[in-house]
C-alpha cells in the first residue's frame, strides 16, 4: 500500500515531524486503545503531532499544512504507527481548521434524503431542535465515578440508581444525571439510558433539551426502525420524540451506537414544545399510559368515580398540574374523560364534521387519528390500539384539550412480535389489528365505530400510504440512514457490553442483509424493506367503507 510505504519513510527518515508554521488546525475525535498512545495527522509523507484537548474528552487537535490529502493515525510510545485511517481525506484548501472529525469515518456531514412534510404542524413545528439536525453521528461522552458507573450496570434492575457527572457534546455540561431506563429492555446486555441535565446549571440545555433518552436498538438488527417511525410521525404533523444517532462513551470506554431522543414525557419537553419554552406557564396535567406494570392496559375503560379503582401503575400521574398548594385533579379529569367515552353513542353521532367537533374539546382528534393510522402502517404493536401502552396524555391548561403523545417505537415494521407479525403485514383489512383481541383502547373502539371518524381514519390511511409510506419514498430514506450509520453499527457490534443479559449474535455483515430480510429469531423474521413493500400492497388492496 502506497500510504504504508510513505509513512514508513517518514518514520524512518525523520521520526514524527512537527511543523512550527502550519496553515490548518486539524481536529479529530479519537479513542486510542491505550492512554499512553498518541494521535497524529499524516499530511503527505509527514506525520504531525496532535494534542489531547484539556477540556473535551477524546478530542485531539494539531497544526499541520493544508492543501494536501491527509488522514489520522495512532502511534505507540515509540512513535510507531499502530493504526491509521484506511482512506485519504481530501485536502483542506481554504479553511483554517477542520470540523471535529471522527477517526475511521470518511465523512463529516452527509446530505440525506428527507421525508416530505405530508401534513403541517399548526402553527409551527415546535419539536424542532438543532440537536436533531440531519447528516451526522455525534459523539456523546459521560464522565462520572468509575465505581458508580460500574454499580449502576451491575445492579441494572434497580430503577433508582443514577450517576452524577459531566456530559460532553461539542461543549461540556455539569450536573448531569444518567441512569438505566426502560422496563423489559433492562434484560438486554445493551441497555437504554436516561439523561437529565440540570436546568439551573445549564439554562439553555443541550440545544434546549434537558431530558433525553438513549435508545439502544438491541432488538432491531437494522437499528433504523425507531428512527424511521419518528421521521414519519414528524411528516404527518404529530408531536413526538425526535432522534439523532450518537456514539456513546463513558469515562473513555466505548458503550455503543445509540439513538438519542427526546424524553417526550418530561416536563422540560412539554414546556419547550407545547408551550414554546415559556417558563412562566403553569403546566397542565400529564398521565403516562402503561400496559406492562399493572393488572390491565391503559385502555380508557370507565371504572367508576373512585380514583382508587384506577391502577396508578397503569395511569401514572407524571405532572399533577398544580403549584403544590392544591390537590391534583389529573385523575378526576381522566375519569371524566373515560365517562364521556363510555356514554358516547357512535350511532347517534352525525355523519359530518359535527362528529369531529364533539370530540375536539376533549382531545386533539385529528392528530390522534394520524397516530392510529401510522400504528397500522408501521405495525406498532406496542402502542395504543394493540397494547394500550406507550403514550403520554397531556391536558392543555388553557384549552383543557387532551393531547396524545406517542412514545417508544422500537417494536415496529415487523420487529419483536412472534405470532401476528406476518398477518399484520399482509392483512387487507385494518380491522385485523384488533379483531378477536381483548379491547386495549375503548377510545379507539368508539372512534372507529363513528361513521364520519372512521372515514376520516381511512382517508388518512390511504393518503399516508400513497404519499409517504410507499417504497419509492421510504426506501430512499432507509438507504440514506443506512449509509449514515453503517460504519458505526459495525463498531457497535465489536464492543463488549457493560452488563450481562440477552444479546443477539448479529455481525456487521448482518446489518445490510437485515434491511431486506429477517433474521433467524422467531421475533425477527421480517426485513424492514420487506414489511414496507408488503404493507403498501396490502393497503392498496384494502376495501374501504367509502
Nearest partner of 148 among 536, 524, 498, judged by Cα: 498
Could you tell me if 42 and 8 are in contact, meaning their C-beta atoms sit under 8 angstroms apart? no
Q: Tell me: the pLDDT tens digits for 210-261? A: 999 999 999 999 999 999 999 999 999 999 999 999 999 999 999 999 999 9
**Which residues in 88-147 belong to E strands, given as ranges?**
97-102, 138-144
d(CA 508, CA 495): 12
Could you tell me if 362 and 371 are in contact, meaning their C-beta atoms sit under 8 angstroms apart? no
Question: Looking at the DSSP assignment, which residues form a beta bridge with residue 144?
Answer: 165
| H or E, element range at 171 | strand 171-180
Please give the domain boundaries of the chain with CATH numbers for all domains: 2-102 (2.60.40.10), 130-266+470-540 (no CATH), 279-464 (no CATH)
Could you tell me if 492 and 503 are in contact, meaning their C-beta atoms sit under 8 angstroms apart? no
Own/partner pairs for 84-91, CB < 8 Å, 24+ apart? 84/3, 84/7, 84/42, 88/3, 91/66, 91/67
d(CA 24, CA 39): 16
pLDDT (tens place) for every residue of the chain, 546 residues total:
445 444 443 543 334 444 444 589 999 999 999 999 999 999 988 999 999 999 999 999 999 999 999 999 999 999 999 999 999 999 998 899 999 999 999 998 999 999 999 999 988 999 999 999 999 999 999 999 999 999 999 999 999 999 999 999 977 889 999 999 988 899 999 999 999 999 999 999 999 999 999 999 999 999 999 999 999 999 999 999 999 999 999 999 999 999 999 999 999 999 999 999 999 999 999 999 999 899 999 999 999 999 999 999 999 999 998 877 788 899 999 999 999 999 999 999 999 999 999 999 999 999 999 999 999 999 999 999 999 999 999 999 999 999 999 999 999 999 998 778 899 999 999 999 999 999 999 999 999 999 999 999 999 999 999 999 999 999 999 999 999 999 999 999 999 999 999 999 999 999 999 999 999 888 889 999 999 999 999 999 999 987
Could you tell me if 51 and 30 are in contact, meaning their C-beta atoms sit under 8 angstroms apart? no
d(CA 448, CA 458): 10
The pLDDT score that the predictor gives to residue 378 is 98
Could you tell me if 297 and 440 are in contact, meaning their C-beta atoms sit under 8 angstroms apart? yes
| Rg of the chain taking only CA atoms, in angstroms | 26
d(CA 408, CA 230): 9
Q: Tell me: the pLDDT tens digits for 365-389? A: 999 999 999 999 999 999 999 999 9
Interior angle at CA 89, CA 83 and CA 95, nearest 5: 125
d(CA 385, CA 434): 7
Interior angle at CA 498, CA 76 and CA 515, nearest 5: 95
For 288, half-sphere exposure in the C-beta direction (CA atoms, 13 angstrom radius) is: 17
Q: Give the burial string for 373-401 (b: 16+ CB within 10 Å, else e).
A: bbbbbbbbbbbbbbbbbbbbbbbbeeeeb
The pLDDT score that the predictor gives to residue 9 is 39
Classify strands 402-406 and 315-319 as parallel, antiparallel or unpaired: unpaired
* Predicted TM-score (pTM) of this structure: 0.94
The pLDDT score that the predictor gives to residue 45 is 87
Amino acid at each position: 500500500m502506497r500510504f504504508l510505504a510513505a509513512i514508513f519513510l517518514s518514520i524512518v527518515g525523520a521520526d514524527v515531524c512537527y511543523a512550527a508554521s502550519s496553515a490548518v488546525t486539524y481536529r479529530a475525535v479519537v479513542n486510542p486503545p491505550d492512554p499512553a498512545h498518541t494521535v497524529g495527522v499524516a499530511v503527505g509523507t509527514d506525520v504531525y503531532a496532535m494534542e489531547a484537548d484539556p477540556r473535551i474528552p477524546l478530542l485531539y487537535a494539531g497544526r499541520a499544512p493544508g492543501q494536501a490529502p491527509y488522514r489520522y493515525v495512532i502511534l505507540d510510545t515509540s512513535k510507531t504507527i499502530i493504526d491509521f485511517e484506511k482512506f485519504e481525506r481530501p485536502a483542506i484548501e481554504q479553511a483554517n481548521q477542520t470540523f471535529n472529525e471522527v477517526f475511521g469515518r470518511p465523512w463529516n456531514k452527509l446530505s440525506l434524503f428527507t421525508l416530505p412534510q405530508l401534513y403541517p404542524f399548526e402553527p409551527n413545528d415546535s419539536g424542532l431542535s438543532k440537536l436533531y439536525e440531519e447528516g451526522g453521528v455525534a459523539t456523546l461522552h459521560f464522565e462520572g465515578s468509575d465505581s458508580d458507573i460500574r454499580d449502576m450496570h451491575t445492579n441494572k434492575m434497580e430503577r433508582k440508581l443514577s450517576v452524577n457527572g459531566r456530559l460532553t457534546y461539542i461543549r461540556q455540561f455539569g450536573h448531569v444525571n444518567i441512569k438505566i431506563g426502560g422496563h423489559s429492555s433492562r434484560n438486554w446486555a445493551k441497555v437504554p439510558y436516561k439523561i437529565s441535565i440540570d436546568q439551573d446549571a445549564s439554562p439553555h440545555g443541550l440545544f434546549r433539551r434537558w431530558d433525553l433518552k438513549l435508545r439502544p436498538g438491541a432488538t432491531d438488527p437494522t437499528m433504523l426502525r425507531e428512527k424511521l417511525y419518528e421521521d414519519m410521525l414528524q411528516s404527518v404533523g404529530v408531536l413526538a420524540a425526535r432522534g439523532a444517532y450518537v456514539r456513546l462513551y463513558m469515562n473513555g470506554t466505548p458503550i455503543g451506537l445509540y439513538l438519542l431522543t427526546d424524553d417526550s414525557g418530561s416536563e422540560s419537553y412539554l414546556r419547550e414544545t407545547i408551550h414554546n419554552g415559556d417558563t412562566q406557564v403553569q403546566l397542565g396535567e400529564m398521565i403516562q399510559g402503561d400496559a406492562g406494570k399493572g393488572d390491565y392496559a391503559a385502555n380508557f375503560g370507565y371504572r367508576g368515580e373512585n380514583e382508587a379503582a384506577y391502577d396508578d401503575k397503569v395511569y401514572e400521574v407524571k405532572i399533577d398540574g398544580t403549584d403544590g398548594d392544591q390537590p391534583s385533579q389529573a385523575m378526576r379529569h381522566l375519569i371524566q374523560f373515560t365517562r364521556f367515552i363510555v356514554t358516547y353513542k357512535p350511532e347517534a353521532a352525525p355523519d359530518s364534521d359535527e362528529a369531529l367537533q364533539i370530540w375536539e374539546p376533549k382531545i386533539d382528534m385529528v392528530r390522534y387519528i394520524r397516530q392510529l393510522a401510522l400504528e397500522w402502517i408501521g405495525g406498532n404493536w406496542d402502542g395504543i390500539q394493540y397494547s394500550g401502552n406507550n403514550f403520554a396524555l397531556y391536558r392543555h391548561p388553557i384549552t383543557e384539550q387532551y393531547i396524545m403523545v406517542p412514545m417508544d417505537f422500537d417494536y415496529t415494521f415487523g420487529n419483536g412480535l412472534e405470532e401476528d407479525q406476518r398477518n399484520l403485514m399482509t392483512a387487507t383489512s385494518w380491522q385485523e389489528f384488533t379483531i378477536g383481541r381483548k379491547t386495549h383502547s375503548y377510545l379507539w373502539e368508539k372512534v372507529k365505530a363513528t361513521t364520519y371518524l372512521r372515514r376520516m381514519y381511512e382517508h388518512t390511511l390511504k393518503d399516508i400510504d400513497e404519499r409517504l409510506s410507499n417504497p419509492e419514498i421510504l426506501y430512499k430514506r432507509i438507504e440514506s440512514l443506512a449509509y449514515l450509520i453503517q460504519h458505526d453499527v459495525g463498531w457497535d457490534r465489536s464492543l463488549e457490553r457493560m452488563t450481562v443479559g440477552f444479546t443477539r449474535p448479529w455481525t456487521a455483515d448482518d446489518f445490510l442483509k437485515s434491511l431486506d430480510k429477517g433474521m433467524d429469531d422467531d421475533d425477527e423474521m421480517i426485513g424492514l424493506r420487506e414489511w414496507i413493500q408488503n404493507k403498501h400492497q396490502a393497503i392498496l388492496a384494502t376495501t374501504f367503507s367509502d
